[in-house]
């Protein structure tokens, strides 16, 4: 366990309302109000790093939360250069901090809190993100399991246990040059890339299929290559 995470955990234990197995804190095992987290289905491009969004649907205000994530084979959380895991809060944060670390059973434990007991904003939408990377051989669909979900109510700092949830990771294997996904590489795909470069991409635009030379930049060089594939 890295030093930063140890410090964060020590702080969490001092903040009222943050719970762990060793604390004698009463937890409401029944989420009577029906609040929950949701993981929208994510289409994985094998070999790439992507953001997994976690959404919160809530009818009351919360100030803190924690949850454990279990990823399928071929999917791993991304580590930063300092050894910490790459997690980030959405614009729903106020004065909140978030951190993550691997627990003894292999899960990624994510925890967020506010020193000032401030509430998370809003009642729906993305709450935070986990950067994940997939192996080039990954094939979906596969399941992300989320367990041990606890949210702290702002009003009384009562812990509320949410039901475990699953998220689906599917697989996207782009056909290079078939930018609009119609099964054919033609002038329409060239136009799709041109529109993207001009800042007007269509809903059909597939960025992975458009990056034909795999340099992570979609530009005129890709148009040239798509013309050769027609």
| pLDDT values of the chain reduced to their tens digit, one per residue, 230 residues | 454 444 444 444 344 444 443 444 445 544 556 899 999 989 898 899 999 999 999 999 999 999 999 999 999 999 999 999 999 999 999 999 999 999 999 999 999 999 899 999 999 999 999 999 999 999 989 999 999 999 999 999 999 999 999 999 988 778 899 999 899 999 999 999 999 999 998 988 988 899 998 888 999 999 999 999 98
At residue 140, the pLDDT reads 86
Sign of the four-CA dihedral 63, 150, 4, 16: positive
At residue 207, the pLDDT reads 87
Q: Both 89 and 138 in a single domain? A: yes
At residue 23, the pLDDT reads 43
Q: Both 31 and 63 in a single domain? A: yes
Containing structural domain, residue 69: 3-171
What 8-state DSSP symbol labels residue 56?
Answer: E
At residue 143, the pLDDT reads 96
Q: Both 119 and 220 in a single domain? A: no
At residue 33, the pLDDT reads 65
3-state secondary structure of 30: coil
Count CB-CB contacts under 10 A for residue 53: 17
Task: Please check whether residue 177 lies inside any domain of the structure.
Answer: no
pTM, two decimal places: 0.68
CB 65 within 8 A of CB 111: yes
Q: Both 25 and 55 in a single domain? A: yes
Task: Please check whether residue 181 lies inside any domain of the structure.
Answer: no
The last residue of a domain, from among 171, 196, 215: 171
Q: Both 164 and 217 in a single domain? A: no
Rg of the chain over all Cα atoms, to the nearest angstrom: 21
3-state secondary structure of 48: coil
Q: Both 131 and 22 in a single domain? A: yes
3-state secondary structure of 36: strand
| Total domains in the fold of the chain | 2
Q: Whole-angstrom Cα distance, residue 211 to residue 225?
A: 10
Helix H or strand E segment including 192: helix 187-197
């Amino acid at each position: 366990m890295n030093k930063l995470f140890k410090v964060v955990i020590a702080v969490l234990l001092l903040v009222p309302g943050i719970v762990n197995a060793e604390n004698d804190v009463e937890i409401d095992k029944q989420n009577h109000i029906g609040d929950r987290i949701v993981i929208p289905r994510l289409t994985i491009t094998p070999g790439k790093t992507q953001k997994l969004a976690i959404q919160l649907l809530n009818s009351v205000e919360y100030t803190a939360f924690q949850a454990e994530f279990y990823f399928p084979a071929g999917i791993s959380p991304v580590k930063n250069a300092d050894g910490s895991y790459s997690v980030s809060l959405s614009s729903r944060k106020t004065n909140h901090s978030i951190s993550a670390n691997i627990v003894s059973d292999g899960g990624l434990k994510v925890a967020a809190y506010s020193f000032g007991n401030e509430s998370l904003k809003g009642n729906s939408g993305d709450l935070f993100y986990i950067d994940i990377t997939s192996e080039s051989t990954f094939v979906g669909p596969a399941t992300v399991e989320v367990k041990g979900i606890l949210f702290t109510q702002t009003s009384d700092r009562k812990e509320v246990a949410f039901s475990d949830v699953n998220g689906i990771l599917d697989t996207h294997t782009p056909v290079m040059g078939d930018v609009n996904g119609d099964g054919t590489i033609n002038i329409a795909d060239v136009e799709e890339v041109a529109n993207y470069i001009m800042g007007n991409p269509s809903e059909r635009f597939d960025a992975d299929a458009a990056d034909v030379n795999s340099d992570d930049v979609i530009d005129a060089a890709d148009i040239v290559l798509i013309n050769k594939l027609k």
